């Protein structure tokens, strides 16, 4: 676990000084939150590690690119497989195409991938709800798409995750998040 935390810190903080979208909060708060959500529902250590590392491939710099192979070597094949399962395939695609592909990919998820993606979506949207309570719709200026389009996509993801594994320990949280997002 400590090795994963150090690796995540290097990727997001040391190499990039990455911040949360539109805020002066270190990015590393997000992977920690995802790991905590997974721990709360009794996830395995491998899955918690994948939660801590879940954005390292997608959000690493070209100069310090994190690869699936790198994760497999350091953390094992299962962790690498889980991180890869929730990584958007091609950041060069249009927003619509990228999000549609990611949404369709949920159909291929294992239960662990559903938990990992659910924890990520819950963490991101809990933060979004807090930001909306503080700043209103101005929050959506941080996004590349409109409020309506962003929220509609999120609702589709929440629905797909619940449909893929209705008995998931995070299903109630996903439903609650869908309800709260429908009110903003």
Domains defined along the chain, listed by start: 2-85 (1.10.3210.10), 95-181 (no CATH)
Cα angle value 169/86/157 (rounded, 5°): 60
Q: Which residues pair with 58 in a beta bridge?
A: none
Burial status of residue 36 (CB atoms within 10 A of its CB: 0-12, 13-18, 19 or more): middle
- In whole angstroms, what is the distance from residue 70 CA to residue 182 CA? 39
Q: What is the pLDDT of residue 71?
A: 98
Tens of pLDDT, residues 1-35:
999 999 998 988 887 777 787 788 888 999 999 99
pTM of the full structure? 0.95
- Identify the residue whose tokens are 């690498």: 80
Tens of pLDDT, residues 51-71:
999 999 998 888 889 999 999
Tens of pLDDT, residues 129-151:
999 999 999 999 999 999 999 99
Cα angle value 97/125/121 (rounded, 5°): 60
Instruction: Assign 90 a pLDDT band (cuts: 50, 70, 90).
Output: confident
Average pLDDT, the chain: 94
Which residues are identified as catalytic?
58-59
């Amino acid at each position: 676990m400590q090795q994963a935390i150090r690796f995540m810190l290097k990727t997001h903080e040391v190499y990039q000084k990455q911040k949360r979208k539109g805020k002066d909060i270190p990015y590393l708060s997000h992977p920690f939150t995802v790991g905590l959500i997974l721990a709360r529902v009794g996830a395995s250590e491998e899955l918690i590690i994948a939660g801590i590392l879940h954005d390292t491939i997608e959000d690493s710099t070209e100069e310090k690119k994190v690869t699936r192979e790198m994760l497999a070597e350091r953390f094992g094949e299962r962790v690498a497989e889980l991180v890869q399962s929730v990584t958007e395939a091609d950041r060069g695609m249009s927003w619509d195409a990228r999000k549609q592909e990611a949404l369709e990919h949920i159909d291929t998820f294992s239960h662990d991938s559903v938990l990992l993606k659910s924890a990520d979506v819950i963490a991101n949207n809990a933060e979004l709800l807090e930001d909306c309570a503080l700043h209103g719709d101005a929050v959506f200026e941080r996004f590349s798409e409109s409020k309506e389009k962003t929220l509609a996509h999120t609702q589709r993801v929440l629905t797909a995750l619940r449909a893929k594994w209705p008995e998931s320990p995070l299903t109630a949280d996903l439903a609650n998040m869908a309800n709260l997002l429908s009110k903003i």
